[in-house]
Amino acid sequence: MTTGRLYDIQGFSVQDGPGIRTTAFLKGCPLRCPWCHSPESQAFARQLSWMSMRCLGREACRDRCVNACPKGAIEEGPLKTDVATGEQVRTIHVKRDLCDNCGACADKCYAEALTMCGRDYTSEELVSRLLQDKNFFDTSGGGVTISGGEPLSQADFTVEVLRGLKEAGIHTALDTTGFAPWEALERTMPWVDLYLYDLKHMDSAKHKATVGVPNEIIHENARKLSEHGKALQIRIPVIPRFNEDEENIRATAEFCVELGDAVQVVQLLPYHNMGVMKYLRISDLKPLEAVPPSDEKMEQLKNLMASYGLKVTIH
Amino acid sequence: MYQNAPISQRVQEIRAMYRAKKPRIDLARYKLVTEFYMANPQLPGVLKRSRNLRNLFEKMPTPVRDHELIVGHLGEEFRASAIYPEHSFQWVLDELDVFPTRGVDPYDLNPEDKEYILKTGDFWIKNATCAAIDEVFPEEYYRDLLGNGVLNFTAKNNSGSPIGHYCGNYWTVVDRGLGSVLEEIRAKKAALLEKGLQGDEGQTLQFYRAEELVVEGIILYTKRYAAECLRQAETCKSEQRKAELLDMADRLNRVIDKPCQSYHDALQACFLYQLGLLMDSQPHGISYGRLDQYVGKYAEADIASGVLTREQAQELTDMFILKVAEINKLWSEGATRTGPGYTSGQLITLGGVDREGNDATNVATYMIMQSSARLKLHNPPLALRLHEGTPAELWEAGIETTKQVGGVPCFEWDKVAMEALMRRGIPLEDARNYCLIGCVEPCVCGCDFANSGGDGNNAYTILPAALWCAINNGINPFSFGPQKNTKATGPQCGYLYEMKSMDEVLAAYKAQMDFFTKWQVSMVNCYEYLYAMMNPLPLLSATMTGCIESGKDVMWGGAKYNGAGNSSIGHGTVADSLNIIDQVCFRDKIATTRELYDALMNNWEGYEDLHQYILGRCSHFGNNDPEADKYLKFVADTYSEGITRGISPRGCHWTAGCWPVTLNVVMGMFCDATPDGRKSGAPLSDGISPVQGMDKNGPFATINSILKFDQANYANGTLCNMKFHPTALQGEEGDKKLRAVMETYFRGGGMELQINVVSAKMLREAQERPKDYEDLVVRIAGFSAYFVEVYKEAQDDLIRRTEMSV
């Protein structure tokens, strides 16, 4: 039995495969997509997360976090208005250059404003947790989606979890970047009903320049999955000034056509900037923001891809 | 995809008038009742009530407004709100100056009307039923139990409401006509006299005399409206309106008396019969029952034969629903806090199965729901019965309606509601014919005197107050003054800091619940004894199956089935509190029982670390953690076993319920801090839900936690609020997913669900800019309301409820 690291489990997911699903998010990813809306999914190590919204104020907890920090990494932060009382309270600020993510402060933050992002489960623990929601899968035709990060970066764990779920009769989906050794993907095949498979850019150089890795292995793995008759739901994050040009969309559509019947649907996921605030929970850096593509633009891209005979949805 | 059809110009105008009109107190009823009571002190209960109602039928104004095709008013004015001084009165005098400006549901009042009330008010202080109630309650309660907080009987002016929460038999009115009932009554009376009165048949005779008076009365009342239509037709300039008036006159000369012939007839008859019930007694949960079943076959026949187009039928339905919406329950400000937003509790039940178990959906089911949706009306509340054979189209209509009009309809699962009724001893065929009463209380439609609302103000058992008595030697420490209360009102089982184990805590809680449920039953049974003497319900008894046959008023046990319902408040608060005591003091030993006790007595002041630890670090009920959830079943069963032991004056067992109206907010104001981390004065948990905001693991875990007690033991209904973020349920796919969540809940043993699709952000905006959100309807508790018409604390409670999202 192996142990894996998750950063979240969400019930009532409605966009990660059929029916109502519970999605387990594994921590750690080899890609660094600048638009990533779950920045806490990227690093493999546990990270200190800071949510100002939950902070009770330094006075209320009498600086338990400040006093707990062995590095002196917690300093005075800005004032905020407490939602419940309407009063101004003094929050904290984490000096990231001093913080080594030891978690001592989070241990003392009962309000869970400071938490350690990343929790370890054995595969058995995770399966039994996910099976708690089985009654919802049964009525909705849903199931479990294993997502990330990149779940195949924790391949042994992912395979064990998928296998456990499959053996309990659960519909399984694996949400992957495809950036993993084929052997890893191959091992998941007996236990996965549907692959949610990302295609970010068809030009490998641009792919590498933007997300940090080339795309050949991703495309190769997609072809192999389709050859094995596995069902694919292709997901394309539509990112302004990166992959939304006609040339790339056409190339993507052609690739999907090449994959044949394996592709059940192509999902266009318009860029949104709701993840921006999440960066500030784990760092002082705010990523560059773009303007989300307009509804007309999305509709245009959908029609373009549909003209290749593909079934396309937005979201 | 389900869509609303466009609304006719005429209906749009009526709706605009309805929304623009501030309700006014109308003295027509008050004056007639006052004069009658003053002139007739010699009349005993049933004679007084029947002649009083007859007098109202003869003399109440019968206005017919230019826009109306369906008539009936509780006074002279549009949206008239009547006063019922014969039930309770002190509050009317107390609030006389503030009615137009009070914080919750203000009403206009003319200066001359105010003057009249002042002039006549003294009479009612001694003559309202309220005054007599204070006399019949046992002195032991006043001496030993006053201030316990679990029950809400007070030193004076108990019973703000009469017996309510029932549903007449509309099939009799619509299909048979009351003229035929009248013949039956006369025949029964003649036979009785012929035979000679034996034993207690003196009472039986009075019953039939009363029935005859009021049934004749309502037929007469209907014909008075016909006469008014004819009078207006004579001088009417518009040909179209004249034709309408003549058609209405023809109808009003027939319906109520004779069987209905058309959909329009059926709607008019239902409205006037309900109005008759409301003229007799305050709108205290007087429900319509299965309206689509009474009127559906007429609608289908009219549409099939071409008498009405579907659009015309829909327009009539709109007009009917707007008529029902006109009615308000005028109540004291304090009591209105439990049901704010101009509601009247005239719940309409739709869908479900027929007596044979087949799906009962018909065209009226859809039209009634469509009226609520497209007119965005919070009132009347609707309940939609669902079962395994409910058509997909009806599911969709129900879900789309609740997305547009928050909580309209609420959803009830047949299997669980019927199982609960069968545990009351009701056979399957009759259980299939249930409707919901008041908020969410199942009862057999037309033959079950459910009395599910107790005596109104005191229909509730406040569980967190019993918890306080359990851990504080029988003393509820809450007081309105600076000093804590020190008088023991419950069994003295010791203090938390003397208790050595969780078993001792649980035993102490159970002792309180056994004690207080016994007293709850005793007090309301006393109240019912008095009401049976003073305030029988003759018009209701005319149709309720069993009464004419047995010669007994519903209040004397005449109905085929009888119920007596109670509701509990604070399941979640107590379950979580017991869980925290166990976790903190006994299992994890984070604090001693002494420390936790002191923290509570000091409202957590000086114990901030412990307080924050409990809120943030402890496992709470509502997250599908078996260790934390196990106390829910204990709390639910302890209450239901206690209350169900009671027997009502009509011979039936009492039933358990859990629906809070907004008393969870109001009663929270009168409850000291509780172990779950709640501060003194904060709201108690809502319905059967976990403590607000403490279910942190998403909707699956919340629902699976709630399902850990047997809801079929709650024959008086359970209420579960769920709030979804709109983005979680967008579009057709969203509807399907919501349906799946609902079905999972129901198949797991859930009885009722009511759903708001609204974000906390939107609600906060509505608080700030009420003008922009005038038509935003939200489900509050057992009813919906326009959000901006609800008082702030109840608004805040809604915002605090956990929002389910992706």
Which chain B residues are Cβ-neighbours of A141 within 8 angstroms? 740
Query: Which residue range is the domain that position A188 belongs to?
Result: 3-45+119-314
What residues are paired with A198 via a beta bridge?
A235
Mean pLDDT of B696-717: 94
On whether both A7 and A107 belong to a single domain, the answer is: no
What per-residue confidence (pLDDT) applies to B771? 81
Domains in chain B: ranges and CATH: 129-160+447-719 (3.20.70.20)
Residue B730 Cα to chain centre, angstroms: 31
pLDDT tens-digit series, residues B444-489: 999 999 898 876 667 899 999 999 999 999 999 999 999 999 999 9
Residues A172, A232 within the same domain? yes
- The CATH number that applies at residue A128 is 3.20.20.70
- Segment B289-310 mean pLDDT: 98
The answer to whether A10 faces chain B, any CB pair under 8 Å, is yes
Tell me B624's DSSP state: S
Q: How far apart (Å, rounded) are the C-alpha atoms in residues A206 and A214?
A: 8
Q: What is the pLDDT of residue B796?
A: 85
pLDDT of residue B740: 92
Task: Report pLDDT for B254.
Answer: 98
Q: What is the DSSP string of B406-459?
A: TT-SEEEEHHHHHHHHHHTT--HHHHTTEEEETTTEEEETTTEE--TTTTSTT-
Average pLDDT in the B729-758 region? Answer: 90
Report how many domains make up chain A. 2
CB B53 within 8 A of CB B280: yes
Instruction: Indicate the residue among A95, A116, A137 that finishes a domain.
Output: A116
Say what the pLDDT of residue B408 is.
92
Q: What is the CATH number of the domain that holds A61?
A: 3.30.70.20
Which of B321, B323, B265 has its CA nearest to residue B294?
B265
Is the pLDDT score of B53 beyond 60? yes
User: Is the Cβ pair B737, A139 closer than 8 Å?
Assistant: no
* C-alpha–C-alpha distance, residues B541 and B556, integer Å: 10
pLDDT grade, residue B735 (50/70/90)?
confident
pLDDT higher than 90, residue A207:
yes
Query: Is B270:B288 a contact under the CB 8 Å cutoff?
Result: yes
Burial class (CB in 10 A: 0-12, 13-18, 19+), B455: buried
Burial class (CB in 10 A: 0-12, 13-18, 19+), B304: exposed
Asked whether residue A8 falls in the same domain as residue A19, the answer is yes
One domain for residues A246 and A192? yes
Selected residues 28-47 of chain A with any CB under 8 Å from a CB in chain B: none
Q: B99-118: per-residue pLDDT in tens?
A: 999 988 999 999 999 999 99
* Domain shared by A81 and A219, yes or no: no
A142 inside 8 A of chain B by CB: yes
Tell me how close the Cα of A226 comes to any Cα of chain B, in angstroms: 27
Interface contact flag, A14 B615, Cβ < 8 Å = no
A253 residue type, one letter: A
Q: Do B806 and A15 touch (CB under 8 A)?
A: yes
Asked if B734's CB is within 8 angstroms of A61's CB, the reply is: no
Lowest pLDDT segment from A132-141, A276-285, B563-572: A276-285
* Shared-domain flag, residues A172 and A153: yes
Locate A299 and state its tokens.
Answer: 């509709």
Under a CB-based contact definition with an 8 Å cutoff, are residues B466 and B512 in contact? yes
Contact A62 B608 (CB under 8 A): yes
What is the distance between the alpha carbons of residues B545 and B554, in angstroms, rounded to a whole number? Answer: 9
Q: List the one residue out of A37, A128, A190 whose CA is nearest residue A174.
A: A190
- Alpha helices by DSSP H, listed for A60-141, are 64-68, 104-108, 123-131, 134-140
Dihedrals φ, ψ of B137, to 5°? -65, 140
Q: What is the dihedral of CA A152, A153, A158, A159, to 10 degrees?
A: 60
Q: What is the pLDDT of residue B485?
A: 96
What value does the mean pLDDT take over residues B349-377?
97
pLDDT mean over A302-313: 95
* Structure confidence at residue B1 as a pLDDT band (50, 70, 90): low
Within this chain, do residues A110 and A126 fall inside the same structural domain, yes or no? no
Which of A90, A116, A142 lies at the terminal end of a domain, its last residue? A116
pLDDT of residue B731: 75
Given A57, A88, A116, the domain boundary residue is A116
Q: How far is B732 from chain A (nearest CA, A)?
A: 12
Residues 6+ apart with CB under 8 A from B737: A12, A14, A19, A20, A140, B728, B729
What is the per-residue pLDDT across B616-663, written as a single tens digit (0 to 9) for each?
999 999 999 999 999 999 999 999 999 999 999 999 999 999 998 888
Q: Which residues contact B581 (CB under 8 A, 6 or more apart)?
A: B471, B496, B502, B505, B593, B596, B675
Sheet strands (E) in A162-201:
171-176, 194-198
Per-residue pLDDT band at B161 (split at 50, 70, 90)? confident
Characterize B100-116 residue by residue with b for buried, 16 or more Cβ atoms within 10 angstroms of its Cβ, and e for exposed.
Answer: eeeebbbbebeeebbee
**End-to-end CA gap in chain B:** 23
The closest alpha carbon to A261, from A232, A298, A294, A295, belongs to: A232
**Which region among A260-269, B25-34, B530-539, B655-664 has the lowest average model confidence (pLDDT)?**
B655-664
- Encoded tokens for B315: 């327009």
**Residue B804: what pLDDT?**
65
Mutation target among B700, B723, B725, B745 for the A interface, most CBs of A within 10 A: B700
pLDDT at position B761 is: 86
Q: Tell me: do A68 and A195 sit in the same domain.
A: no
pLDDT of res. B555: 96
pLDDT of B59 > 80? The answer is yes
CA of A141: which chain B residue's CA is closest? B740
Would you say how long chain B is, in residues? Answer: 806
Counting DSSP H helices and E strands in chain B, the numbers are 32, 18
B531 CB contacts (<8 Å, ≥6 apart)?
Answer: B129, B162, B163, B455, B555
* Measured distance CA(B684)–CA(B668) in Å, rounded: 5
Please tell me the distance in Å from A219's CA to the nearest CA on chain B: 30
Express as a percent the part of chain A with pLDDT over 70.
100
- CA A63 to chain B, closest CA, distance in angstroms equals 11
CB B689 within 8 A of CB B781: no
Q: Please tell me whether residues A18 and A107 are part of one structural domain.
A: no
Predicted local confidence at residue B544, as pLDDT: 98
- Provide the residue type at A256 as one letter: C
The predicted-structure confidence for B308-361, as pLDDT tens digits, reads as follows: 999 999 999 999 999 999 999 998 888 888 888 888 889 999 999 999 999 999
How large is the ipTM?
0.89
Calpha distance B646→B654 (Å, rounded): 5
Residues 6+ apart with CB under 8 A from B732: B1
The answer on pLDDT for B805 being more than 60 is no
Let me know whether A87 and A129 are in one domain.
Answer: no
Q: Over chain B, what is the mean pLDDT? A: 94
Closest-approach residue (CA) in chain B for A9: B697
Record: contact B697-A11, CB cut-off 8 A: yes
How many other CB atoms are there within 10 angstroms of residue A220's CB atom? 12
The residue count of chain A comes to: 315
Residues B787, B479: Cα–Cα separation, whole Å: 31
Instruction: Write out pLDDT tens, residues A45-95.
Output: 999 999 998 899 999 899 999 999 999 999 999 999 887 778 899 999 999
Assign A176 to helix, strand or coil.
strand
Q: Are residues A105 and A131 in the same domain?
A: no
**Phi/psi of residue A95, each to 5°?**
-80, 100
Q: Return the pLDDT at B806.
A: 35
Angle at CA of residue B334, ends B30 and B450, nearest 5°: 70
Q: Which residues of A touch B608 (CB under 8 A)?
A: 60-62
**CB neighbours of A304 closer than 8 A, spacing ≥ 6?**
A246, A249, A250, A253
The answer to whether residues A126 and A16 touch, using CB atoms and an 8 Å cutoff, is no
Q: Do A71 and A133 fall within a single domain?
A: no
Burial of A245 (0-12, 13-18, 19+ CB in 10 A): exposed
